[in-house]
Structure 1
Amino acid sequence: MELFLSACVPRLCELTGQRQCIRDASRYATIALRTGIHPKIVSSRLGHATVAFTLDTYSADIEDLDRDAAEAVIGLFLPSSARGLI
């Protein structure tokens, strides 16, 4: 049932012109991606055909996503005392 709803609700909102529903989907996607939920899960819940579409659509809303990824990689190579220097 959840899969059916996640696939149909965004399309129904679009067809009926319910802007609030579309804003809610956008809000969900942005918050979910910011909190680290895997993009595949977010894409699936929104009923998108591909993860690429989800990331293309919503990653621009998350300006600090690139910085957070860089810091995570740096953390793998540098001790915590040196992280703030970069």
Structure 2
Amino acid sequence: MDILFEIGKKIQEIRKKKNITQKQLAEYIDISKYTLSKIENGRYDMDIITFYKITEILKVKPYILIKEIKNNKLNK
């Protein structure tokens, strides 16, 4: 599975758990809802600043998302 897709799905999962809409998150980080949708579906190669802003709003450490995905790949 593609790493962008996996990160996007994890972002979506956390966003939904925190009851934040795509529109709200997109506004918080100053991107369009369309771009956020593409990020969550792994179809947009976001820059590190956008990734950082998302993790700040969702209150999750950036390395946690990457570490979890890396561990899942190693365990397969």
TM-score, length of structure 1 as denominator length: 0.30
Q: Counting helix residues as a fraction of each chain, which structure ranks higher?
A: 1
- Relative CO higher for 1 or 2, CA cutoff 8 Å, sep ≥ 6? 2
Which structure has the greater CA radius of gyration?
Answer: 1
